[in-house]
Structure 1
Amino acid sequence: MSLSSHVEELKKKHQNLSVKVEEAQRAPGSNDLEIASLKKQKLKLKEEIERLSISA
């Protein structure tokens, strides 16, 4: 897998997590721990994308 395709895959995962976070925040009785976990995953992906983009 090339670096650019890997970064694109990470971006897709980041976008999917964004959608999940939004849905969880809108859902009545949503679990705050689950939302926090999703946000942490998003942040890790964002940091990885930035790290790979800089080194490319």
Structure 2
Amino acid sequence: MHYDDPAAIARELIALRTEHRDIDVLIARLQADAHADQFALARMKKRKLRLKDMISYLENKLIPDLDA
């Protein structure tokens, strides 16, 4: 992906936010289940954090640099 193209960044942000939201729903379901696989839950939480970091990175790419 080209991180210089604002339109491409915006499309990627939509995809990442959707995946982040979907994982959030899955995590909530697993946490409600007493017999849930704790390792799977931990992996999902790590994936969710990586997605959050990538979302933050791409959002910052959309903010123009201002020379102070």
Given the alignment, which residue of 34, 39, 42 partners 1:28? Answer: 34
Tell me the number of residue pairs that the alignment of Structure 1 and Structure 2 aligns.
Answer: 56
SS at match of 2:35: coil
Aligned to 2:22: 16
Q: Which runs of 5+ in 2 are unaligned?
A: 1-6, 63-68
TM-score (structure 1 length as normaliser): 0.93
Q: Which runs of 5+ in 1 are unaligned?
A: none
Q: Residues 23-56 of structure 1, C-alpha deviation per residue, up to 9 Å, x if partnerless?
A: 0111131111111000000000000000010011
TM-score (structure 2 length as normaliser): 0.77
Structure (1/2) with the larger helix percentage: 1
Aligned to 1:53: 59
SS at match of 2:36: coil
| Larger relative contact order (Cα-Cα within 8 Å, sequence gap ≥ 6) | 1
How far the C-alpha of 1:11 sits from its partner, in A, is 0.1
Shift >3 Å, 4+ stretches:
none
Alignment RMSD (CA, Å) = 1.1
